Amino acid sequence: MLNGCICCTVRTDLQKVIKKMLIEKKLKVDGILVETTGLADPAPVAQTFFVDEEIAAVCRLDAIVTVVDARHIMQHLQEEKPEGVENESVEQLAFADVVLLNKIDLVTREEIDSVKKAIHGINISAKIHETTNSRIDPKELIDIKGFDLSAILVKEPDFLDTDGEHQHDTSVSSVAFCHKDPVNIGKLQYWIQELMEEKATDLFRYKGVINVVGEDRKFVFQGVHMLFSGDFTEEWTKDEVRDSRFVFIGRNLDKDEITTNFLGCSVDLNLRFEVGTKVLCKRRKGSTLQAYDKGVVIKQWDEGNPYRVRLDKGDLEIWAPDDVDEIIMECTPEIEAQMK
């Protein structure tokens, strides 16, 4: 089920897959986990296990589990949607049997209590687990017999009506692409930083696996709004195609602009300065470039950056994230004489 919204256009595919597994092939399975997109309405997915008689005869809907970002959920619950468009965050909480209130390490106790109050205001019966990095014993999520159809019909009398209208917020979309050229990780990180500063509230989720020049390891990163993390992980295997895969999910995303800026982080392997070249290099403080400092190139393509430079002042080593004069330039005898 690779295309469309799992709660709408590919629900038929979900039915076909389950019937093929359990009825045609008679596979012996302990359970089926269905993971929707973060913007899905769970109701049409849950309907599948009740309105299709063949599936209802071989399956029991055990529970609907919703993961909540404790740091950002309130702004999404309070978001004003166009007329007739559902607030997916509210819908997911309304149908949840279990809620993982995640990222509690990033908020205060008062904020946690406020979020829990808001969740129970939507769904008083949902069981809430406070988590960090979504760590939880699977026994709390699987085979718990948490879904109660009669309770759902009280809250949603039209739950079993498959002809009901279902509208998504058309301002929310995703941008995804795959690119084979290696990436300058320094340029990529600075671009994402600028993007977060400009459009943080519109960036719901972004993540990627990056092919970094000069590195045998994958660079994996992910972010939510202004929260970003990334690091080098396992090495590429011999059988893998080294490429970069990237996805943004958010509101009012400019696909062409994002694609152009990402492709602009591709590398030119022909660097201007050899190891040992005396250079002037700028350091960054946040997104601001500082004044030039004198130094010498000690390595090319170090952890995805074109140069590693040892500065004369303080014997400090820094990365030059781009091979342009705005960042790094040769320290010729004439320039050095002017600086004295």
39-78 per-position pLDDT tens digit? 777 777 888 888 788 988 999 889 999 999 999 999 888 8
Answer yes or no: is 164 within a domain: no
Q: What are phi and psi of 34, to 5 degrees?
A: -110, 115
Residues 195, 306: one domain?
Answer: no
Domain count across the chain:
3
Q: What are phi and psi of 43, to 5 degrees?
A: -60, -50
Lowest mean pLDDT among 16-20, 47-51, 118-122, 291-295: 47-51
Contacts of 224 (CB under 8 A, 6+ apart): 69, 71, 72, 203, 204, 205
Residues 225, 321: one domain?
Answer: no
Q: What is the DSSP string of 138-172?
A: GGGTSS-----HHHHHHH-TTTT-TTS-----TTE
Residues 254, 284: one domain?
Answer: no
Residues 255, 290: one domain?
Answer: no
Q: In 3-state terms, what secondary structure has residue 184?
A: coil
State how far Cα 185 lies from the chain centre. Answer: 17
Residues 23, 91: one domain?
Answer: yes
Residues 282, 258: one domain?
Answer: no
Band of residue 127 on the pLDDT scale cut at 50, 70, 90: very high
Answer yes or no: is 161 within a domain: no
pLDDT at 196: 85
C-beta of residue 306 within 8 angstroms of C-beta of residue 272: no
CB neighbourhood size of 134 (10 A): 10
Q: What is the CATH number of the domain that holds 51?
A: 3.40.50.300
Answer yes or no: is 326 within a domain: yes
Answer yes or no: is 209 within a domain: yes
Q: In 3-state terms, what secondary structure has residue 293?
A: strand
Q: Domain containing 177: what range?
A: 172-263
End-of-domain residue from the set 233, 263, 293: 263
Residues 249, 297: one domain?
Answer: no
Q: Is 184 exposed, middle or buried (0-12, 13-18, 19+ CB in 10 A)?
A: buried
Lowest mean pLDDT among 88-97, 138-147, 153-162, 221-230: 153-162
24-41 per-position pLDDT tens digit? 999 999 999 988 877 777
Contacts of 103 (CB under 8 A, 6+ apart): 69, 70, 71, 132
Percentage of the chain surpassing pLDDT 90? 34
Band of residue 103 on the pLDDT scale cut at 50, 70, 90: very high
**Mean pLDDT of the 156-165 span:** 62
Residues 221, 105: one domain?
Answer: no
Q: What is the overall mean pLDDT for the chain? A: 85
Dist. CA 190–CA 228, nearest whole Å: 12
Percentage of the chain surpassing pLDDT 70? 89
Residues 113, 36: one domain?
Answer: yes
Residues 112, 205: one domain?
Answer: no
pLDDT at 313: 84
* Bigger pLDDT: 198 vs 274: 274
C-beta of residue 304 within 8 angstroms of C-beta of residue 219: yes
Q: What is the DSSP string of 258-282?
A: HHHHHHTTB--S--S--TT-EEEEE
Residues 38, 103: one domain?
Answer: yes
**Mean pLDDT of the 215-237 span:** 88
pLDDT at 246: 85
Band of residue 150 on the pLDDT scale cut at 50, 70, 90: low
Answer yes or no: is 163 within a domain: no
Residues 51, 138: one domain?
Answer: yes
Answer yes or no: is 272 within a domain: no
pLDDT at 176: 82
pLDDT at 84: 67
165-185 per-position pLDDT tens digit? 556 566 777 788 788 888 888
Answer yes or no: is 6 within a domain: no
Answer yes or no: is 31 within a domain: yes
pLDDT at 40: 74
With a cut of 70, say whether residue 240 has pLDDT above it: yes
Q: What is the CATH number of the domain that holds 239?
A: 3.30.1220.10
Dist. CA 237–CA 301, nearest whole Å: 20
End-of-domain residue from the set 101, 124, 155: 155
Q: What is the CATH number of the domain that holds 283?
A: 2.30.30
Band of residue 130 on the pLDDT scale cut at 50, 70, 90: very high
Q: What is the DSSP string of 2-51?
A: -SS-TTTTTHHHHHHHHHIIIIIS----S-------TT--HHHHHHHHHH
